[in-house]
Amino acid sequence: MVGRIVIRGGLVITASDEIHADVLIEDGRIAALAASGTPAAEAWTAERTMDATGKYVIPGGVDAHTHMELPFGGTFASDTFETGTRAAAWGGTTTIIDFAVQSVGHSLREGLDAWMAKADAQCAIDYGFHMIVSDVNQETLKEMDLLVEEGVTSFKQFMAYPGVFYSDDGQILRAMQRSAENGGLIMMHAENGIAIDVLVEQALARGETDPRYHGEVRKALLEAEATHRAIKLAQVAGAPLYVVHVSAMEAVAELARARDEGLNVFGETCPQYLFLSTDNLAEPDFEGSKYVCSTPLRPKEHQAKLWQGLRTNDLQVVSTDHCPFCFVGQKELGRGDFSKIPNGLPGVENRMDLLHQAVVDGHISRRRWIEIACATPARMFGLYPKKGTIAPGADADVVIYDPHAEQVMSAETHHMNVDYSAYEGKRTTGRVETVLSRGEPVITEREFTGRAGHGVYTPRSTCQYLT
Ligand code: URP
Ligand code: ZN
Ligand code: ZN
Ligand code: ZN
């Protein structure tokens, strides 16, 4: 354990401020900030001094949506908690919230215990869990109360994937009513899975088997319809709602309308929807399979509406939905039948850099970058101000970020356990230099200096973002 660390000379950026300040770290926490060059800052002594001149000093990223080792379509997401959290650290993310899964016929507790065991002593950075609720019944509803008390304060339900994770409207309403009472936050996968399954069957019967048909059957209108329905069910239940992986502009419009009515309705989008499109899904030679995820990638015109939603706060969070499957042997399971391609994209390592590129490109401000990638996910899921900011008392989860370094994203150089990059060849400006997790250097000037097991399970309070 490094004792006192001082980071000198950087531009400290949080969701609310940009200040030239030195940062004092003591016992794994932020002890103080003081304007660089002032007597107060100069007086600090420390075991270790880090020079951040010309660099940004930002809170570690909080990725509120990952799926390490998720079982899906007869295979498992290819990143383990060890490889996935190491890659996250490389990309400047210091907290993930992954999804424990309740299987049908089993309890929430069994699912949570299983995911706790998978992550235990494996993670390079801190982690928490949401709970995927696949089987709403009286026992499950009671268990939700217990989980909220224990720090698992958010529950994902699916309007998609009938026969797997799917909940019907009655099950959704019951879970929402429960969360209205116990303070939990329902996270919704909003796609009309019943209608989509009909369209899948019809497409395959016509011989439309290529990856691009995955995007065609999972229609934007069916995302919008489900988003609207989820909002109305939440309104009836008097519960807040967080819609995950929003990709359709029509769904953003539904969220915006609900928010204009004053409802506690929130939306998350992901880098793949901001930077990739149906053009990628249409790549020949089955390459399109690399871009199969749900909700699907959309035509390019949706991107502008997603950026707009991020600027107007109709979308509040950018998470990755990191759920990698290798091209060889995993995505290939769907050759000849797009519905058998495991759903999900890698990205946990790329998010902070891609969103910095969005700053460079003029889509968002620097402070908004930190807000959507660090502060709001921490607030939304009850981790603030321990995570998501640089302030006295916060965990010293800190990234020294070089805003001028150029890089090219590639599977050759990334650290995720997957044989392709969704952003292969993409040039970005900005790069993570050094990453501290509770004061421990896990990346030091672009060397991995962390270890599996440094990261600890982090229980969460209820949502801190309600109006
Ligand atoms: O395609 C995706 N998003 N895979 C992960 C599971 C989910 O629905 O989030
Ligand atoms: Zn999910
Ligand atoms: Zn989902
Ligand atoms: Zn997901």
Q: How many residues does the chain have?
A: 467
341 Cβ below 6 A of ligand 1: no
What ranges in 132-284 are assigned the alpha helix state H?
A: 138-150, 169-182, 193-205, 212-217, 220-237, 249-260, 271-275, 278-281
Contact status, residue 132 vs residue 100, Cβ threshold 8 Å = yes
In a domain, 38, yes or no: no
Q: Is residue 332 situated within a structural domain?
A: yes
CATH code of the domain in which 315 resides: 3.20.20.140
Residue 193 forms part of a structural domain: yes
Say if residue 338's pLDDT is above 80: yes
Q: Could you tell me if residue 405 is inside a domain?
A: no
Closest CA to 199 of 184, 174, 220: 220
Report how far ligand 4's centroid is from the alpha carbon of 45 (Å): 44
Q: Which pLDDT belongs to residue 1?
A: 61
- The answer, yes or no, to whether any atom of ligand 1 lies below 6 A from the CB of 343, is yes
Query: One-letter amino acid identity for 155?
Result: F
The DSSP bridge partners found for residue 96 are 63, 127
Kindly tell me if the per-residue pLDDT of 262 is higher than 90.
yes
| Residues 217-226, mean pLDDT to the nearest whole number | 98
Q: Residue 239 Cα, ligand 1 centroid: separation in angstroms?
A: 23
Alpha-helical regions (H) of 338-418: 351-360, 366-370, 376-380
Residue 377 and residue 388 in contact, taking contact as beta carbons nearer than 8 Å: yes
Q: Tell whether 238 is covered by a domain.
A: yes
**Closest residue to atom 4 of ligand 1, CA basis:** 344
Question: What does the pLDDT look like over 181-212, one tens digit per residue?
Answer: 999 999 999 999 999 999 999 999 999 999 99
Q: What is the pTM of this model?
A: 0.98
Ligand positioned closest to the Cα atom of 342: 1
What's the average model confidence in pLDDT over 124-129? 98
> Among positive and negative, which fits the CA dihedral 180, 97, 388, 28?
positive
CA of 358 to the centre of ligand 4 (A): 22
Q: What is the pLDDT of residue 346?
A: 98
Domain span holding position 90: 60-380
- Please give the average per-residue pLDDT across 52-81, as a whole number: 98
Closest CA to 23 of 73, 65, 59, 76: 59
The residue whose C-alpha atom lies closest to atom 5 belonging to ligand 1 is: 344
Q: What's the number of domains the chain is made of?
A: 1
Q: Is the CB of 6 inside a 6 Å radius of any atom of ligand 1? A: no
Distance 98 CA to ligand 3 centre (A): 12
Tell which residue, 348, 320, 322, has the closest CA to residue 91. 348
Environment of ion ligand 3 (residues, CB < 5 A) = 189
